Amino acid sequence: MYKSLRSPRHQKLRQLLVDARKAGGWTQDQLAAKVGKPQSFVAKYEVGERRLDLIELIDVIRALDRDPMTIIAEVAGLD
């Protein structure tokens, strides 16, 4: 089993979050403001320096106007 920070599923999650942010037309600053965090919070999870806990992940996905279950299913290969 891979360590989750560099695993293929973690990379897929990061890419889905980056793609969703860009598709929504948001900068890292704008998304960070929506979740009440500094811009560095978004930058760090997008480049893989940090993981999001479950609550943070839900908050980020909702801030992106996406359904958390859809993103989780895609990462889990259930889509």
pLDDT tens, 22-39? Answer: 999 999 999 999 999 999
Task: Report which secondary-structure segment, H or E, holds 75.
Answer: helix 68-76
pLDDT at 19 > cutoff 60: yes
Rounded Cα–Cα distance for residues 42 and 46 (Å): 6
Q: What value does the mean pLDDT take over residues 5-28? A: 93
Q: Quick check: pTM over 0.75?
A: yes
- The enclosing domain of 59 has a CATH number of 1.10.260.40
The pLDDT of residue 6 is 75
Q: How confident is the model at residue 3 (pLDDT cuts 50, 70, 90)?
A: low
Our count of domains for the chain comes to 1
Task: Report which secondary-structure segment, H or E, holds 35.
Answer: helix 28-35
The answer to the question of residue 20 being in a domain is no
The alpha carbon of 6 is separated from its chain's Cα centroid by a whole number of angstroms, namely 14
